Chain A
Amino acid sequence: MQKNLLIKLAVIIGVTLVFVYGIFGIPSSFSGDGLREAVLKNIHLGLDLKGGTHLILQVQINDAINSETDRAIEILKDEFGKARITYADISKPDANQPEKFVIKGVPLDSGSKVREIVQDKLPEFTQTPGADNSQILTMNAPTLAQLKSDTLEKSIEAIRNRVDALGVSEPMIQKNGLGDNQILVQLAGVDDIGRVKDIIQSTARLELRESRGSYPNEAAAMAAQPGGILPPNMVLLHGKPNRGGNGDVVYLVSKTSVVSGTDIRDAREGTKPDTSEPIVNFYLNPGPAKKFAEFTLAHQKGGSDPANLGIVLDNKVISAPGIESQISDSGEIYGGFTPESAKDLAMLLRSGALPASLHYLTERTVGASLGADSIRAGVKAAVAGMVAVLLFMLIYYRGAGINADLALIMNLVILLGFMGFFGATLTLPGIAGVILTVGMGVDSNVLIFERIREELRHGKSAAAAVDQGFSRAWTTILDTHVTTIVSALILFFVGTGPVSGFGLTLIFGLLANLFTAVFVSRVIFDAVLSRKARGEALSI
């Protein structure tokens, strides 16, 4: 054999080894299970195969814009008060345009003062005169755009923190390219969507408020108040009874909170040492901690004004314990938690609030059982198709059939190896892509072989026919591959989820095919020819 040929053979064996490594890595053992485990470590299964949850959420950006303009309105009212500027009304005229608000009824002579205040305090707004001597303030476009992208990013971050608590391996949480303000969440292997949605969407707005007594219902609570009127700054909120149990009682709590969720630095689930009841421990940021210390000092048992601490979650009182002593930077929340719910609440307090509410646009769940069925069916189809093609090539092209079969098998190895290296996800359409690659991969071999046969018919020698066959088929192969790669690329970029995975499989398959059908197959032919005597016939 020539030296040149030996080098090429070495290249082929090297490439094969590299891609076999891509599929298996270094398996822990060479038993069936060990290999299976090794493959699954490198080639990830999509959620249509593994089972899982696929969600598309839309961030209600207007929420964030609204709170921003609400803040601006508060600032203006405050400043107008200080500067003694009278006004009739400051409000948002159109709920669909939350970035806009109108100041009405400002006397003409205060106009310049108003302009000054706006320029000074609200530089991110543009002031334009409106009808009836009103002034329209609109958030500047760059500020608005920044706010939108910040809100989307913060939402993604908050969702990621929450999902991490589910312990999912490799969750996919990203901007969904399809529409505005959409987030795509894919959790392979998690199919109890009820829990997923609970965790993603819960607002978990925790507040610690002053609490003064509980009553069986609203009527009883009102009756107990002096004069039947609630004290100022106090409201009634429903909640669980303090002594445990599942009833519903009404608490009298302060309107404002002493400490809220954003003041919390850290929160961990734990258990009460004496009863091993699940609790949540929380730790406060320094500023709020000082405020909390003052509050607990004043309201502790035996203090100047004893009161209970109302722990309010999403406007429901979960417990209202008495304050035993002054607390500064940490505390515990209890009240009918299960270990699971304590863990969830701790996580939600840690992960911070969602900047805007979320709407679900799509939810898909694939049960693990369906995924398993799909894998079985897909593999069966792949094996059946592959065997049929391999057998046919052997029968139809005899000696050269072995060549084509080797190239095909290597094509498959490279394709799967590619997927392993790129950490690509194998979806059900992806398996179909693999099968299709086998079918289309054989096309290149057929093109070349038919060409060689033609050249042989024209009376060329085996070596010349092989040479001509390959060089003539090459342009065709290049053209067909480029066009198919173009459509596969479009699938990959424009498609979503499984379709995109299918496009990727197809691209890898076509690239592998260019290598195997043109290079590998050629080297095998050359190797065969180099051992043949001159003029001996080629088995094709």
Chain B
Amino acid sequence: MEFFRNTNIDFLGRKWYFLTFSLIFSVAGILSMIFWHGIPVGVDFRGGTLVYVKFASTPNTGAIRAALDKAGLHNAKIQAYDVPSANQVVISLDMQETSEADLSKGKNQIISALETSPVAGKRDLNNNDQVGFSAVRDSLVGKDPTHSSPAEYEAMAHAVLNVRDSVKGGVLRSMDDLKGTIPDAALDALKQDFYVGDFGKISADVVGPQVGSQLKTQAKLAVGISLAAMLVYLWFRFELIYGVAAVVAVFHDTLITVGAFSLTNQEITLTVIAAILTLVGYSMNDTIVVFDRIRENVKIMRRESLAEIVNKSINQTLSRTILTSGLTFLTVLSLYLFGGEVLHGFSFALVIGILIGTYSSIAVAAPMLVAYTEWRAKRSGAGAMAQPAQGSKGKVRVKV
């Protein structure tokens, strides 16, 4: 099977279309970053409190809001999380309400506000902030209902938490969910110490302002360093202008991807930064494949102009470009579709990034290389052209 065979598309002839396309998306992204959503960053970077809560039944947003208001948390945001059947909400507080002096205050307030029907003298078995393995074990060992060995009680405690966390997805509906898991006598003993509330905390992120701003600096640094490192490598392997063209293309991809996050108002988290760095590597990959072919063709095609060589090179590698991008896109798409809520931002960045990264090596990096060479040739008036470091010694005629 073969999709592309001896294609001969004049990519460089369409450079104005490409430029328009790139400009539209870049400018839309930039405008959104400046005037609309800004750059929405996740709790990692901005600091704040996020509590993911799973309810035993469909959560009543109005009741949650009322409970939080009563606790004085008027600025808390409540959003549904994941599919509706998961009964999950995420409750967030912004940085003003998250101080480093008492970091978990907001989180604890949220949890206690939601705890609408506490039972005096008992602990909420669903509150995994406070009740973990040791609490259950100690209760069993203390009550000693089945006269078992400590090891057997430990196994029971593990079994109880396994039902809570794995079988029931984090929330027990009633203490009787544990029936059959542990001996009835042990269950009765646990019932004296514990009850089940109607929600469980799935996860919580509390980030103070200091770490947030440090991570922000770190993320910018990481993207900057990796771009610089690649520029140096390409300079060393090809020629400076190749490096510059590739880095410009990759920067273009990063800009558009971040713009897409701004336009759709999705949060850029630490893992999204990882995705962006991956796409930097990926887009660079794609550009290098085309550049490598140009370098090779410059040696063989001594009669043609650089524009022709570049066109030919893109066409020759087109089959590979489309195949690889298609396959990588396939894997990333499966990540986007099946990878779950936690990886949503990450895979969104990659879905966008792979499309743009593939496009940019053809539509940004290559035309830029040609434009620069033609401009330099025009300026010097001679037939100078960008020749890769390993390029041929022969002169290449440039049509001006």
Q: Are A377 and B338 in contact (CB under 8 A)?
A: yes
Contacts of A360 in B (CB 8 A): 100, 103-104, 206, 208
| Residue B118 is within 8 A (CB to CB) of chain A in the complex | no
Q: Are B335 and A506 in contact (CB under 8 A)?
A: no
Q: Are A483 and B332 in contact (CB under 8 A)?
A: no
| Residue B135 is within 8 A (CB to CB) of chain A in the complex | yes
Min CB distance A285 to B, Å, is 30
**Which bucket holds chain A's interface residue count?**
35 or more
A340, A389, A487, A494: which contacts B134 (Cβ < 8 A)? Answer: A340
| Residue A14 is within 8 A (CB to CB) of chain B in the complex | no
Q: Are A340 and B1 in contact (CB under 8 A)?
A: no
Q: Are A367 and B334 in contact (CB under 8 A)?
A: no
Q: Are B202 and A389 in contact (CB under 8 A)?
A: no
Q: Are A190 and B132 in contact (CB under 8 A)?
A: yes
Q: Are A367 and B201 in contact (CB under 8 A)?
A: yes
| Residue B255 is within 8 A (CB to CB) of chain A in the complex | no
- Cα A498 to Cα B269 in complex, Å, equals 12
**Binary contact readout B185-209 vs A (1 if CB under 8 angstroms, 0 otherwise):** 0000000000000001111111110
| Residue B20 is within 8 A (CB to CB) of chain A in the complex | no
- Cα A337 to Cα B23 in complex, Å, equals 70
Q: Are A195 and B130 in contact (CB under 8 A)?
A: yes
Contacts of B278 in A (CB 8 A): 436, 487, 491, 502, 506
- B interface residues, tally (CB under 8 Å): 92
Contacts of B342 in A (CB 8 A): 48, 370, 374, 377, 428
- Cα A475 to Cα B138 in complex, Å, equals 63
Stretch of B33-41, B68-76, B218-226, B364-372 that contacts chain A? B218-226
Contacts of A361 in B (CB 8 A): 100, 103, 207-208, 210-211
Q: Mostly helix, strand, loop or mixed at chain A's interface?
A: helix
Contacts of A384 in B (CB 8 A): 334, 337-338
Closest residue of chain B to A278 (Cβ to Cβ) is B142
- Cα A376 to Cα B202 in complex, Å, equals 16
B130, B205, B338: which contacts A192 (Cβ < 8 A)? Answer: B130
Q: Are B273 and A499 in contact (CB under 8 A)?
A: yes
Stretch of A86-94, A437-445, A514-522 that contacts chain B? A437-445
Which of B102-131 touch A at CB < 8 Å?
103-104, 107, 128-131
**Binary contact readout A474-506 vs B (1 if CB under 8 angstroms, 0 otherwise):** 011001101110111011001111110011001
Contacts of B131 in A (CB 8 A): 192
A397, A440, A472: residue with the most chain B Cβ atoms closer than 10 Å: A440
Min CB distance B62 to A, Å, is 25
Q: Are B288 and A476 in contact (CB under 8 A)?
A: yes
- Cα A392 to Cα B324 in complex, Å, equals 11
Which of B131-174 touch A at CB < 8 Å?
131-135, 138, 141-142, 161, 164-166, 168-170
Stretch of B11-19, B258-266, B343-351, B376-384 that contacts chain A? B343-351
- Cα A488 to Cα B340 in complex, Å, equals 24
Q: Are B211 and A365 in contact (CB under 8 A)?
A: no
Stretch of B24-32, B301-309, B315-323 that contacts chain A? B315-323
Contacts of B141 in A (CB 8 A): 339
Contacts of B101 in A (CB 8 A): 359
Contacts of A494 in B (CB 8 A): 218, 221-222, 225
Q: Are B203 and A365 in contact (CB under 8 A)?
A: yes
- Cα A393 to Cα B208 in complex, Å, equals 48
Q: Are B334 and A372 in contact (CB under 8 A)?
A: no
Q: Mostly helix, strand, loop or mixed at chain B's interface?
A: helix
**Binary contact readout B90-103 vs A (1 if CB under 8 angstroms, 0 otherwise):** 00000000001101
Q: Are B274 and A490 in contact (CB under 8 A)?
A: no
Min CB distance B323 to A, Å, is 5
| Residue B392 is within 8 A (CB to CB) of chain A in the complex | no
Min CB distance B240 to A, Å, is 16
Contacts of A381 in B (CB 8 A): 334-335, 337-340, 343
- Cα A483 to Cα B237 in complex, Å, equals 11
| Residue B327 is within 8 A (CB to CB) of chain A in the complex | yes
Q: Are B288 and A479 in contact (CB under 8 A)?
A: yes
| Residue A429 is within 8 A (CB to CB) of chain B in the complex | yes
Q: Are A486 and B226 in contact (CB under 8 A)?
A: yes
| Residue B396 is within 8 A (CB to CB) of chain A in the complex | no
B271, B281, B324: which contacts A499 (Cβ < 8 A)? Answer: B271
Q: Are A195 and B132 in contact (CB under 8 A)?
A: yes
Q: Are B233 and A338 in contact (CB under 8 A)?
A: no
Contacts of B350 in A (CB 8 A): 436
Q: Are A373 and B331 in contact (CB under 8 A)?
A: no
Q: Are A502 and B214 in contact (CB under 8 A)?
A: no
Closest residue of chain B to A389 (Cβ to Cβ) is B327
Q: Are A487 and B202 in contact (CB under 8 A)?
A: no
Closest residue of chain A to B130 (Cβ to Cβ) is A194
Q: Are B335 and A483 in contact (CB under 8 A)?
A: no
| Residue A111 is within 8 A (CB to CB) of chain B in the complex | no
Contacts of B128 in A (CB 8 A): 191-192, 365, 367
| Residue B87 is within 8 A (CB to CB) of chain A in the complex | no
Q: Are B169 and A388 in contact (CB under 8 A)?
A: no
- Cα A491 to Cα B226 in complex, Å, equals 9
Q: Are A195 and B206 in contact (CB under 8 A)?
A: no
Q: Are B202 and A443 in contact (CB under 8 A)?
A: no
Closest residue of chain B to A448 (Cβ to Cβ) is B320
- Cα A204 to Cα B343 in complex, Å, equals 41
Q: Are A363 and B103 in contact (CB under 8 A)?
A: yes
Q: Are B292 and A490 in contact (CB under 8 A)?
A: no
Q: Are B218 and A483 in contact (CB under 8 A)?
A: no
Min CB distance A401 to B, Å, is 10
B104, B215, B285: residue with the most chain A Cβ atoms closer than 10 Å: B285
- Cα A455 to Cα B164 in complex, Å, equals 61
Q: Are B334 and A365 in contact (CB under 8 A)?
A: no
Q: Are B211 and A179 in contact (CB under 8 A)?
A: yes
Closest residue of chain B to A379 (Cβ to Cβ) is B338
Closest residue of chain B to A56 (Cβ to Cβ) is B211
Question: Could you list some 21 contacts between A and B, CB below 8 A?
Answer: A58-B100, A178-B215, A194-B129, A195-B130, A197-B104, A362-B205, A365-B204, A367-B200, A367-B201, A374-B343, A378-B339, A381-B339, A439-B327, A446-B323, A483-B233, A483-B285, A484-B285, A486-B226, A486-B233, A487-B230, A499-B273
Question: Which A residues fall within an 8 A CB radius of B?
Answer: 48, 51, 56, 58, 166-167, 178-179, 190-195, 197, 338-340, 359-370, 372-374, 376-378, 380-382, 384-386, 388-389, 392-393, 395-398, 428-429, 432, 435-436, 438-440, 442-443, 446-447, 450, 453-454, 472, 475-476, 479-480, 482-484, 486-488, 490-491, 494-499, 502-503, 506
Given contacts A367-B170, A380-B339, A490-B277, 7 further A-B contacts (CB under 8 A): A360-B103, A428-B271, A432-B343, A446-B327, A476-B293, A497-B270, A498-B270
